[in-house]
Structure 1
Amino acid sequence: MSPWIATPLLLLGSNVLMTFAWYGHLKAPHWPLWLAIVVSWGIALLEYCLAVPANRIGFTAGAFTGQQLKVMQEVIALSVFAGFSVLFLGEPLRWNFAAAAVCLAAAVGFIFLPVK
């Protein structure tokens, strides 16, 4: 599979897992803190099994620079969290989230500009 496809797909999967690792326990406030930590670490382990290969594939294939990988990850993370906050946490999206998305879109534009 092309690194142009594999890298963002793996990053998407890793961000879904990491979002649940960091914020999924908020729907289980009755859990003791130690249990939330253990469950979160278990999910984070799986997340690393996707994030590390995503970055390695994208970088070593020469498809992306480290800076491009980081910006891509941040855009994917915010996109995943937007859906998570609405669907899982029941929070509405507000104007400032859209404004942040516009700023991230600009960051993507800048980071992928050719450098000469």
Structure 2
Amino acid sequence: MSEKHEEVMNAGESCHSARKSHHSEETKKNLVTRLNRIEGQIRGVKGLIERDTYCDDVITQISAIQSALNGVSKILLEGHMKNCVVERIQDGELEVVDELLVTMQRLMKK
């Protein structure tokens, strides 16, 4: 293992080695804000169902939640590709491309 790679592993900055992401604090804050909003939307849908709200209105709200979740996924995927995937390719770990394809197929099923 190279000295540089060992330093990265020890610092906990490598996506693959420690299986952690390294998002900026701004990105993390953005993601948490979005997820908190989605959490509130889900509670709202639960309330709509409990109050026997018209089905079409509930479905519209669920569609908005799905769209918001897709937005979170896009942010995560972009960061993953720009950081983790690039890093692993530079380290010669080309199997990360297959992993990325599986991830993208999973996202596209939705």
Q: Same fold (TM over 0.5)?
A: no
Which structure has the greater CA radius of gyration? 2
Instruction: Please give the TM-score of this superposition, normalised by the length of structure 1.
Output: 0.39
Higher RCO (Cα < 8 Å, 6 or more apart): 1
- After TM superposition, the score normalised by the length of structure 2 is 0.41
